[in-house]
Amino acid sequence: NFVFRVQADQRVEAGGLGLNAVQRKGARVSLGDVVPVGPFSPPPGNFEAVMITLDVSFTQRKEGREQEVDVKVLTPQLIRQFVPQVFTVGQAFACEYQGTNLLLTVAGITLPSSASGEQAGSGRGMLVEGSTFLFQGDGGAGIKIVNQRAVVTNQVQADTATPAGIATFGMELKIVSCPSQDLALTNCVYVAPSDIGRLGSYVELGNFVFRVQADQRVEAGGLGLNAVQRKGARVSLGDVVPVGPFSPPPG
């Protein structure tokens, strides 16, 4: 299900395909396996990734290990190292960040909208110079993401227009509990009445889109999620996260 960029190396024998351990695990193959492969041609138009959402963890977990990941540092590093590779949702790859080996797993890919408003592709996209990343760190595993909003906001402002279906990530909100138990069953998220005007009817958080409603019990700057929503979005009470309005594409 994955597409890899291929290069020649004289150290690989004829008939061989050299993959690292992370690639072999993702493709579910082992050393010595004989597998069918074929060429891949990126489709024309609407295949360049606007945003790639990445789950960040360690390649090897150790008790008490912690790492702060600065998006301003990691984003240009990934652009330099991996453009113009094609990524697929569910694909994992490793990178070295300031002496630490990180495991990055593709959780979502946002592609440009076509003329009809539909998003092209099916979970694949090509990383290009103008792509940006939305990183999701597992706080329980010791990963802390910093400067996420600054990078995403700068990228959006650099675009001449934001296609329908892409959030602008114009504000940061603090994760709080859902205002009441009965509202927790609506699958909506809740903000203060003073914040609803900047978000509209839908809000994008990480790789998910929620319907948003105002509730006076939520303090300004808060985003009320139930326990299931927090678990899915990989956020905890008290986290400050970048969010933005989401406009469903027409048609």
Decide: 189 and 212 in contact? Cβ < 8 Å. Answer: yes
Walk along the chain (251 residues) in steps of 10 and give the mean pLDDT of each run.
94 96 94 96 88 90 82 92 94 91 91 53 84 80 78 48 42 89 90 83 86 92 91 84 80 63
* pLDDT value for 159: 47
* pLDDT value for 115: 38
* pLDDT value for 33: 97
Specify the pTM: 0.61
Buried b (16+ CB within 10 A) or exposed e, 102-129: bbbbbbbbbbbbeeeeebebeebbbbee
Are 97 and 186 contained in the same domain? no
Are 79 and 186 contained in the same domain? no
Are 201 and 110 contained in the same domain? no
* pLDDT value for 149: 66
Are 78 and 133 contained in the same domain? yes
**Six token digits for residue 226:** 């139930």
Is residue 179 in a domain?
yes
Which domain-ending residue is among 144, 162, 180?
162
**Residue-wise pLDDT tens digits, 154-180:** 554 444 344 443 334 457 889 999 999
Decide: 106 and 19 in contact? Cβ < 8 Å. Answer: no
Residue 174: CATH number of its domain: 2.40.40.20
* pLDDT value for 163: 43
Whole domain around residue 107: which residue ranges? Answer: 46-162
Distance CA 225, CA 180 (A): 10
Is residue 22 in a domain?
no
Is residue 33 in a domain?
no
Which domain-ending residue is among 162, 180, 207?
162
Alpha helix positions (H), the chain: 21-27, 71-82, 148-158, 196-199, 227-233
For residue 192, which amino acid is it? A
* pLDDT value for 169: 45
Residue 110: CATH number of its domain: 3.10.330.10
* pLDDT value for 67: 87
* pLDDT value for 46: 83
Provide the CA 180 distance to its chain's centre, in angstroms: 30
